Structure 1
Amino acid sequence: MQQESMDFPGIVIAALRGGSGKTILSIGIIAAWKNLKKIVAPFKKGPDYIDAGWLAMAAGRPCYNLDTFLVEDKQILNSFYTHTLKSDIAVVEGNRGLYDGLDAEGSTSTAELAKLLNLPVILCIDCTKSTRTMAAVVLGCVEFDPTVPIKGIILNRVAGSRHENIVRKSIENYCGIPVLGAVPKLKKQNFPERHMGLIPTPEHEWANDSINAALKMAKSYIDLDALTKIACDVSFQRPSAITHPKSEIRNPKSVRIGIIKDSAFQFYYPENIDALVAAGAETVFISPLKTNKIPPIDALYIGGGFPETHAKELSENEQFRNELKALAEDGLPIYAECGGLMYLGKELVLDNKSYQMAGVLPVVFGLSKKPKGHGYTIISIERENKYFKKGSEIRGHEFHYSYVLEWKGNDEDLVFNMKRGNGFINKKDGICYKNVLATYTHIHALGTPSWAKSMVSNAISYKKIKKTGQTS
């Protein structure tokens, strides 16, 4: 792929490990630049939805995921370029440690993404109970792979001025890299966590206050001018030919695809919704927490989320549950991921109390205190279905604490074989019933482009059947 140089400012914020505070620092830096009237394009490395939601809120615009396991490098570059066109500066938040990847070679790591994008790395280091040793750690990161452009350091959780001075001088003397800020240990926890990380923005009662606290932190403790100068000293390589999904439908937006989206079901990549629109669909958002009726639609997409934290409300909305089940029985194409899979089940059992779900699928779910599936997935499509071609292979990721308590279906109903990951049960996933396909795996539309086309094609078929009065 031929490339031409395009100067575009941006940074990758990385850390030595997960839990170092880089997400809150990223939120603060984005909010601070936005406060300075810059249009910030936020990105999240990896498949995470929750951090991306916070970055999006801080920027006031969608955050896009850059995941080199799920999506090919060419599409990563296309996505980065496309979503920075109308912005002034980009912030890419890494995940885990800088060099952590799928294997000993560090494939799919934050470092590899930084090199792909040709962006400078700002390393966030947790200085808790450490001083000069942090210089040795930073020097190790620099020399581990000299092609990774580590251009600045932000100290986090410093205990005081004496602590800061020792660490700052050690790093600048031994590593020759500027320290751009020193953030003290925060006395107030503005970003509470639970089993999947930060509490998502739709469920955080004081989300705006938290963003403002991060903004104040960044303005007080980070040299934003120096950070901006580093961000501007790059030359992002623009792909010579940008590819965009094109509608193959003769009458664009001739079908309506419903998307269940609220604080119970909030895990959606913006790219997935964009892909449905590009394929020719009109999207309509629906919330079982706010309405008891489903509007006229030709297909339904139910993403992941936290049905367990809204089980009572979901169970009490009997009219919505019954209508959803009736539509499934009628042949409505429904694609569901993780939390959506749980909602399509018969029951959800929490603390020995049962909550009725939609009852589309003959499965009862429970909730564990430890993850039952966490990581990337590779799936082989073993059986015929209306969403993925038999014999093909797709990539995704899973992260769930729920598990199967009771399953009254058949092995023939499971169309996925898990080559990597846990799946639904016995290394199988993808429950297929009529025009419903439900799975624990989340997919990314840029990595699985056939998905959006199949959704729209299924919606068109369903609409034609309903129009002619045939049964599905």
Structure 2
Amino acid sequence: MSRLLLSAAHKSSGKTTISVGLCAALSLRGLAVQTFKKGPDYIDPMWLSQASGRDCFNLDPYLMTPEQMTRCFTRYAGQADISIVEGNKGLYDGLALDGSNSNAALAQLLDLPVVLVLDARGMTRGIAPLILGYQAFDSRIHIVGVILNQLGGARHESKLRAVIEHYTDVPVLGAIAHDPRLAVAERHLGLMPNHELDDAAQRVRAMGELIAAQVDVPRVLRLAADATALPSPPPQEISAIVSRLPTQPRVRIGLVRDKAFGFYYPDDLLALEQAGTEIVLIDTLRDAALPAVDGLIIGGGFPEMFMPELQANTSMRSSVQNAIEADLPVYAECGGLMYLARTLRWKDRVCDMVGALPVDAVMHERPVGRGYVELQTTAEAPWPRRTDAAPQTLRGHEFHYSSLENLAPELKFAYRVLRGHGVDGQRDGIVYRNVLASYAHLRSGAGSAWTEQFVTFVRARKIAAKQKGATVMRTVQVNGAPVVTDVEGYLKNLDDWSEDFARAQAEAESLELTEAHWQVIAFLRAYFEEHRVQAQVRAMIWHFAKTWGPEHGNNHYLHTLFPIGGPQKQGNRLAGLLKTKGEH
């Protein structure tokens, strides 16, 4: 099982560029290259996948056990000619004092030969004690070579080679001159994702050709092949993973993947499929509306970079909002959460988003939440929803420059934050109807079981809706035309509301509308338009006590006006709003 770990002395040494270029060079030789990335990351794996033509899998010591990392590595490495693991930060860097979650610990776990990428700018003789120190710090780590990066020219290269050859036994596998063609555009969250660039494939091919010309690729292959054999996963385990067929009814789940949103772990997508999901790709920038789906997933990304385009696609925003109000199960992470907000503000610009959540997202110059998170589920978590279930502890990560403002006071949260920032340092996972939207990124089988739980929730909702069948539908004649409602009279399409509908529905309920009724209806619609949630009775009392005075601005009078379920049920129905969950 040929394999290598590409690491560095410190971050920003150029290891991602060299890793991508090396993988591209190996692929150009016709080799099947399997890539891995250490730690929580989406963007570097996107580029590694572009270079290899295969999904890149993350190996994360905080979210995964050693056994999980070993199974993940052997499962996919065993199907390739060579595996390249790109580290994060420096070889010995990590959260733990004992280095148990460092790149070096991963190299020891998987017996990975290590190639160090060294940023050689400004260095000559001092590079020798750096290499010797890295060798001596942990003798269990096998450093098989170095690649010198950012060289100033041929003279600089020859000096460094002479020093390394004289003082160390570590071979120089490559010497990379400074070249803008090896640079990948960066911005506030790191590298620009490859799917935003129309010429990503050409860039990666050029990087592969440049690296192949400056790195001794045949020697790299020999060193990788010298790695000791690792035990292969049992055949039955591979069979169970690859060919397991779901016994439950399949569900269609929309997955937003476009230039604005694209942060997904490939093993999460595989887990969704293995749980019985047909994944339907959705483009929020180009598609006019959601397709027919049973659930929706909106991952992280860079919505702030596409604010005008997202705002301009009003039909898609309305489609998502209407689907949410019709109780479509939705899971959103970070950028997806921002998309569901009322507005998104960055610098001097404010753009309308979906408006399903009563919050406004604001971008900042510095990170608001960054690093690993630990969460505990609350009773509000929509899945799994079991009244007797004990709170679950989840692990994930976050990296966001945005915060939320103008939160509706009645918002519910699925998570209590034990570590990290989330929405406000204490809570994360906004719950609205069947939506769960959080800043935390979760990974199924690595700190959470979100894919299985979400699919189970979606399937249960689909089965329940199917069992209701046609009984949930009825029509009201409005000016001679049928308007579809559910069996209780709530609109199925919120855009169908009109004053004539309110009159027709009131007549069906034997209610004569007065000026007071119309004032309540107007208040309910205005409140929902502003907050994206239905007004609670106490909000109505507070408003109408000021408008009508205490004699009529009270709970008793409001229920007198709307005798069939009160203002929060009958009032919302006549106002064309969907049924609230809870108080009726």
TM-score band w.r.t. shorter chain: over 0.9
What percent identity do the matched residue pairs reach?
A: 38
The match for 2:434 is: 435
**Separation in 1 of the partners of 2:3 and 2:22?**
12
Structure 1 residue aligned with 2:255, among 253, 259, 263? Answer: 259
Report the alpha carbon displacement of residue 61 of structure 1 after superposing the two structures with TM.
1.4
The match for 1:299 is: 295
| Cα contact 2:254–2:296 (8 A) shared by 1 | yes
| Cα contact 2:35–2:52 (8 A) shared by 1 | yes
The match for 1:460 is: 459
The match for 2:327 is: 331
The match for 1:44 is: 37
Structure 1 unpaired stretches of 5+: 1-7
Report the alpha carbon displacement of residue 460 of structure 1 after superposing the two structures with TM.
1.0
Cα 1:189/1:227, change in 2 over 3 Å: closer
Partner letter of residue 371 of structure 1? P
**Separation in 2 of the partners of 1:421 and 1:171?**
43
**Separation in 2 of the partners of 1:394 and 1:464?**
28
Aligned ranges 1:4-403 → 2 under 5 Å: 8-188=1-181, 190-238=183-231, 241=234, 242=237, 249-251=246-248, 254-388=250-384, 390-403=390-403
Cα 1:348/1:125, change in 2 over 3 Å: same
**Separation in 2 of the partners of 1:286 and 1:155?**
43
Partner letter of residue 343 of structure 1? Y
The match for 2:566 is: none
| Cα contact 2:382–2:414 (8 A) shared by 1 | no
Report the alpha carbon displacement of residue 68 of structure 1 after superposing the two structures with TM.
1.3
The match for 1:4 is: none
Report the alpha carbon displacement of residue 353 of structure 1 after superposing the two structures with TM.
2.5
Partner letter of residue 200 of structure 1? P
Aligned ranges 1:444-455 → 2 under 5 Å: 444-448=443-447, 450-455=449-454
| Cα contact 2:380–2:431 (8 A) shared by 1 | no
Please say which of residues 120-129 and 98-107 is displaced more in the overlay: 98-107
| Cα contact 1:117–1:236 (8 A) shared by 2 | no
Report the alpha carbon displacement of residue 426 of structure 1 after superposing the two structures with TM.
3.3
Give a deviation string over 1:261-316, Cα, whole Å, max 9, x none.
Answer: 11101100001110011111111111111211111111111100001111111111
| Cα contact 1:382–1:390 (8 A) shared by 2 | no
Q: Secondary structure at the match of 1:80?
A: helix
**Separation in 1 of the partners of 2:166 and 2:99?**
29
**Separation in 1 of the partners of 2:15 and 2:180?**
17
Please say which of residues 345-354 and 254-263 is displaced more in the overlay: 345-354
Report the alpha carbon displacement of residue 325 of structure 1 after superposing the two structures with TM.
1.2
Greater fraction strand: 1
**Separation in 2 of the partners of 1:409 and 1:321?**
24
Q: Secondary structure at the match of 1:143?
A: helix
| Cα contact 1:190–1:213 (8 A) shared by 2 | no
- Count of residue pairs the alignment pairs up: 463
Report the alpha carbon displacement of residue 133 of structure 1 after superposing the two structures with TM.
0.7
Structure 2 unpaired stretches of 5+: 473-485, 487-580
**Separation in 1 of the partners of 2:130 and 2:380?**
52
Cα 1:236/1:391, change in 2 over 3 Å: farther
Q: Which has the higher contact order (CA 8 A, sep 6+)?
A: 1
Q: Secondary structure at the match of 2:77?
A: coil
Partner letter of residue 247 of structure 2? R
Report the alpha carbon displacement of residue 247 of structure 1 after superposing the two structures with TM.
6.0
Q: TM-score scaled by structure 1?
A: 0.94
The match for 1:3 is: none
Q: TM-score scaled by structure 2?
A: 0.76
Deviation >6 Å, runs of 4+: none
| Cα contact 1:345–1:365 (8 A) shared by 2 | yes
Taking only aligned residues, the RMSD between alpha carbons, in angstroms, comes to 1.8
Q: Secondary structure at the match of 2:442?
A: coil
Report the alpha carbon displacement of residue 210 of structure 1 after superposing the two structures with TM.
1.8
Q: Secondary structure at the match of 2:376?
A: strand
Partner letter of residue 403 of structure 1? S
Partner letter of residue 97 of structure 1? G
**Separation in 1 of the partners of 2:101 and 2:232?**
20
Partner letter of residue 210 of structure 1? R
| Cα contact 1:346–1:356 (8 A) shared by 2 | yes
| Cα contact 1:386–1:454 (8 A) shared by 2 | no
| Cα contact 1:247–1:280 (8 A) shared by 2 | no
Give a deviation string over 1:75-115, Cα, whole Å, max 9, x none.
Answer: 11111122123211101100001111112222321111111
**Separation in 2 of the partners of 1:281 and 1:188?**
41
Greater fraction helix: 2
Partner letter of residue 250 of structure 1? T
